[in-house]
Structure 1
Amino acid sequence: MLSRLAESLYWIGRYVERAENTARLLNVNYYATLEAGGRVSEEWRPLLEISGTKNGFAEQYGRADAHSVAAWLAFDRNNPSSIASSLARARENARGLRDRIPSEMWEELNRAYLNLCFQNAEVLARDGLFEYCSAARDASQMFFGIAFATLPRDEGWSFMRSGQLLERGDNLLRLLQVRYSVRTPSNPAQAAVDNHRWMAVLKTVSAYEAYRKTEHGGLQPRAIAKFLLLNPYFPRSVRYSGENLHDALAQIERIHPQAHPQLLREAKWLLARLEHASVDDILERHSPSIDTLLSDFNAIGSAIYAAYFTA
């Protein structure tokens, strides 16, 4: 496969997953602020750190509040992680692959682009953020559902899947990194707010129901971390993402044997960390830490780019 085609599929996977992640983050945070009753500005600032766009936001908006953060993450094309930017970039990559991917995949991306990428902050004025984010989430799920049903499990599939899983693992680790930087308060009133925050963490990755079926001790931060980091069966856990990322890269390696052995070794090392680490290793002993795991995901992304997409 030409590197240009592989790169386009890889970035489609990342951008569509990013649009869904941002939509989930916005939607859940909107309801979490309502349930928490106040402290709205405090609840919106962490979204900038989770999305990695804090500096860009500060240059353009300055003050972080519900309106400015929502506009930045949903519609602003100057933000490469906004829903509109992510869908537009995914669509641009797919436009050059219309003869290489199922027509239904292109049609879904094009439909999402036309429906969502030309909207602006007027959506907030009419209290339409929930509908906008729900439409973005549904478009992503529809796109990947079509891909799972129709895209041949060849090299192109593996590159798209690699991009999707890298983005998913990176997003969840950033979410946990930010939420664990805040100490659990001892004040009962603040503890109630903290409880809402952890419920929001689970709902942001659609893990609330799965977590409650697995863990029966309430919303304990340590138990939530264990589930989201190390559960081998939940499809949005870090371990699940690492395992399936390794499998996608192993398939590419089988097509190009010994072309880039170091890349697969890095993926194996990440998977070994996740398979053998305990939650106490990560949270208490920092071996590996959440920061280390995030760096490992980013290093694999850089290695994929260097190995396959540079001339």
Structure 2
Amino acid sequence: MTMLSRVAERLFWMARYLERAEDTARLTQAYTHLVMDIPEGSEPGWDILVNILDAAPMYTSRFRVYSEQNVLRFLIADPDNSSSIHHSIVAARENVRTTRDVLPEEAWEHVNELYHYSRETSESSIGRRNRHAFLEQVYTRCQMINGLIISTLCRDHAYRFIKLGHLLERADMTTRVIDVGAGALLGEENAKSPVTPLVWASLLRSLSAMGTYRRTIGPLIEADAVVDFMFCEASLPRSVKFCLDGIRKELTPLHNNKEALRVLESSRRKLTRFNADETQPEKLHQFIDRLQLNLNTLSDSICETWFPPPQG
């Protein structure tokens, strides 16, 4: 089967933006609960959410302080922030609108409904009164849309580019949460803090992995076990290994895949050498930096190989 490169590009980015909206909603929800549950005086700063999404330069150009209201406005409703929930939904909708003929008929209806819901309620959901309901609606609807697409599409090139975007975005978010979240919340001086289990539990919830962790590893939440689980557990859909293995599966049937596979295999080799038990915080940060660089290179390789250059 062949397909237009413009269509492949839009499907790829549709999947990335839908995953981004869901992941940002989950992260914001989990962090809000952490701040409310943690003992007074031990609360981490709201800047951590901005740093996880690597959006500090844009944020500081717009806001002077990292207050709860400013950060949540930036992450939930800001139309110009590419990491915000509303911006991601708008971008996903536009990509679905231009590829409706290769997607299930109901996909446009559900994405359009999500767009109108976000447009009407995102601004009023910055405060705590409406925030929980809004975030839950966002990630529930994103899951429904992804489930619809995955359960009805033929396993052709359209499906492959959707999966590539979906898995790349998910791997990127997992590495960001573990790197910035764990590094900022659990510096060496806080390693023995009584709130440490709460923090790691929050990180697992932000990645929708708490229940699976408890069934697979056990009820005791420890730093090394969480990091190893989120990076190397082959059966966990949100682990980095699962995502990289899935990307390899979707790249293999595509033509001209040599360069993308080369970059991917470099990431997979790095992951096989990873051992959380032997990794100090600084080494973990360096490892994740290299892995994220590989993920960015892989994304660039996919775009350069299969998507047309910008016209201008």
Same fold (TM over 0.5): yes
C-alpha offsets along residues 65-108 of structure 1, whole Å, 9 cap, x if unaligned? 21111111011101111110001000001101112211111111
Residue segments in structure 2 that go unaligned for 5+ positions in a row: none
Which string of whole-angstrom CA distances, capped at 9 and with x for unpartnered residues, describes residues 186-242 of structure 1? 586xx1222221110001011111111222372211111010010000110011011
State how 1:17-166 maps to structure 2 within 5 Å.
17-39=19-41, 42-125=44-127, 127-166=129-168
In structure 2, the residue matched to 1:278 is 275
Q: Distance in 1 between matches of 2:277 and 2:297?
A: 24
Q: Provide closer, same or farther for how the CA distance between residues 180 and 287 of structure 1 changes in structure 2, counting only shifts above 3 A.
A: closer
Moved more, 27-36 or 43-52: 43-52
Which is further off, 284-293 or 243-252?
Answer: 284-293
Return the alpha-carbon distance in structure 2 between the equivalents of residues 139 and 90 of structure 1.
Answer: 13
Q: Secondary structure, in 3 states, of the residue corresponding to 1:127?
A: helix
- 1:144-196 Cα shifts (integer Å, max 9, x gaps): 100111111100111111001110000110111113324144586xx122222
Q: Does 1:264 align with 2:261?
A: yes
Q: Which residue in the other structure is 1:300 paired with?
A: 298
C-alpha distance 206-71 of structure 1, shift in aligned 2 (>3 A)? same
**Is contact 1:11–1:163 with CA below 8 Å preserved after alignment?**
yes
Determine if contact 1:282/1:288 at 8 Å carries over to the other structure: no
TM-score (norm: length of structure 1): 0.91
Deviation per CA, 1:272-298, whole angstroms, max 9, x where unpaired?
A: 332453334655766981111111111
Task: Give the match's secondary structure for 1:88.
Answer: helix
Gap change, CA 1:216 and 1:11, over 3 Å in 2: same
- List gaps (5 residues or longer) in structure 1: none
Amino acid at match of 1:305: C
Give me the identity figure in percent: 28
1:238 matched residue in structure 2:
240
* Aligned partner of residue 253 in structure 2, secondary structure: helix
Q: Corresponding residue for 1:183? A: 187
Contact 1:87 1:117 in 2 (8 A): no
The 2-side partners of 1:55 and 1:297 are apart by: 21
Q: Is the 8 A contact 2:172 2:295 kept in 1?
A: yes
Paired AA for residue 17 in structure 2: Y
Normalised to the residue count of structure 2, the TM-score between the two structures is: 0.91
CA contact (8 A) 2:248 2:261 kept: yes
Summarize the Cα distance change of 1:187–1:210 in structure 2 as closer, same or farther, 3 Å threshold.
Answer: closer
Q: Quick check: 23-32 or 278-287, which moved more? A: 278-287
C-alpha distance in structure 1 between counterparts of 2:191 and 2:209, whole Å: 27
